[in-house]
Structure 1
Amino acid sequence: MISRRTSRAVAALLGLVALAILGYALRWRSNPSPCPYSQRYAIDLPRPIITRSRLREVLEPRPGERVLEVGPGTGHYTGTVARAIDPSGTLHAVDVQSEMVEHLRTRTREEGRSNVEAIRGDARSLPYSDDTFDAAYLVLVLGEIPDQQRALDELERVLKPDGRLVVGESLPDPHFVGFERLRRRVERRGLALDARVGTRAGYFARFDADTSERSADPVE
């Protein structure tokens, strides 16, 4: 039988561990940064709410479209969307980490995907002209960007006048962006909410461009 003293020691140790985890999460949340390449294996863990099939359902990628993925990481969602826009569509995958880009290039090559263009780039300054993409999406990424306002401005800029944007978020991601906060930010840029699936703890939200409501200088 475990003594009372031992039980207290174990409880105290577990408490310290919990505090350490909480402190790490709070520090990470207050200092936005992408998932390090050394922790890439966590990227492909199951995502019960924000699944690949649900992303495809909300994004509605179509053959021949030009689609942008911001922050693909190792490519958890990339293959699903790339297949949907075959045979003549192209998926441009932009990640800020060179290691992730090389990993994704290797992965798509091994999978025989020729319609994925993975490049290193910053969401705050996308290397594309205005009105380039039919659709864009980012999953578990927005909260990792130091300047979310600028990233949303860039996404609105590169979308075509009838384009669509899908954002996916889910707990326990320490950079989780709540739906209402996201909605306010995106709608200030003239994109209207069209669909949402999921729960408060995890969701996909789709916004469609509306040129009649786009703001020249959105304010947070």
Structure 2
Amino acid sequence: MVTRRTIRSLALAGALTAVAGVAYALRWRRNPSPCPYSQRVWIDLPRPVISRSGLCELLEPQPGERLLELGPGTGYYTGTVAEAVEPTGEVHAVDVQRPMVADLRTRLRERGDDNVVPIHGDGRALPYPDDSFDAAYLVLVLGEIPDPERALAELERVLKPGGRLVVGESLPDPHFVTRETLRERAEEQGFQFENDVGTRGSYFARMTVPPSNGD
């Protein structure tokens, strides 16, 4: 028999759990960091609004292009984009966590994807020369970087003139970046905002590097 005391205890326990969860999310938001490898199960869950097909529709990857993915994690989007640039294109997948890079490398090998280059690196100091890529994308990543402005500046640097950048964001990610904040930060780093798709709480946004003089 369930007593009133038991019900009150369960309710209190539930309330404390909720409060603890909110406190953890707020602390995580104040201290940007990537999703730990130990919690990678969460980044493999379906993403209905910021889907793989939705990313490709806005990014428009073309056969033969060289693309950059920042923060691929275990590769939720990587294989789909890599397939779109076949047979001669490639995707460089840069992640700051070595375990994520190793996991992605294993998954790619098992799937037979040979046009993806997993790289351990920091988005604030990308290991590439200027004008290295035709396009780049990052999903649920920008808010996890301690200096997002520096990361955007690096993306602008390694993209060719006219290069495309797609950023995906979605709640309830504690590091969620609003459209307005993203556009302001990106334009400060030299990007031209083009358009976005989705909802207020889950969207993809596309911007480009302005063509150089004479192009």
Band the TM-score falls in, shorter-chain normalisation: over 0.9
Q: Distance in 1 between matches of 2:191 and 2:147?
A: 19
Partner residue in 1 for 2:135: 135
2:61 alignment partner AA: P
Q: Distance in 1 between matches of 2:190 and 2:102?
A: 35
Shift of 1:42: 1.2
Shift of 1:211: 4.2
Partner residue in 2 for 1:50: 50
* Structure 1 gap ranges (5+): 214-220
Q: Distance in 2 between matches of 1:45 and 1:59?
A: 21
Q: Distance in 2 between matches of 1:130 and 1:160?
A: 8
How big is each residue's C-alpha offset from its partner over 1:87-144, in whole Å with a ceiling of 9 and x where there is no partner? Answer: 0001000001111111111111111111100010000000000011100000000011
Shift of 1:2: 4.3
Partner residue in 2 for 1:60: 60
2:122 alignment partner AA: D
Partner residue in 1 for 2:84: 84
CA contact 1:190–1:212 (8 Å) conserved in 2:
no
Q: Distance in 2 between matches of 1:196 and 1:133?
A: 21
Shift of 1:192: 1.6
Partner residue in 2 for 1:197: 197
* Structure 2 gap ranges (5+): none
Flag the 1:114–1:212 CA change in 2: closer, same or farther, 3 A: closer
CA RMSD of aligned residues (A): 1.4
Q: For 2:64, what is the secondary structure of its paired residue?
A: coil
TM-score normalised by structure 1 residue count: 0.93
CA contact 1:33–1:146 (8 Å) conserved in 2:
yes
Identity of aligned residues (%): 66
Q: Distance in 1 between matches of 2:141 and 2:168?
A: 8
How big is each residue's C-alpha offset from its partner over 1:150-180, in whole Å with a ceiling of 9 and x where there is no partner? Answer: 1011000000001010000001111111110
Shift of 1:8: 2.5
Shift of 1:80: 0.4
CA contact 1:190–1:211 (8 Å) conserved in 2:
no
Shift of 1:10: 2.1
Partner residue in 1 for 2:187: 187
Q: Distance in 1 between matches of 2:15 and 2:141?
A: 30
How do residues 69-218 of structure 1 correspond to structure 2 at under 5 angstroms?
Answer: 69-211=69-211
Q: Distance in 2 between matches of 1:193 and 1:117?
A: 28
Q: Distance in 2 between matches of 1:176 and 1:161?
A: 28
Q: Distance in 2 between matches of 1:186 and 1:71?
A: 18
Shift of 1:48: 1.2
Q: Distance in 1 between matches of 2:110 and 2:6?
A: 52
Q: For 1:7, what is the secondary structure of its paired residue?
A: helix
Q: For 1:130, what is the secondary structure of its paired residue?
A: coil
Shift of 1:189: 2.0
Q: For 1:124, what is the secondary structure of its paired residue?
A: coil
Q: For 2:92, what is the secondary structure of its paired residue?
A: strand
Shift of 1:190: 2.3
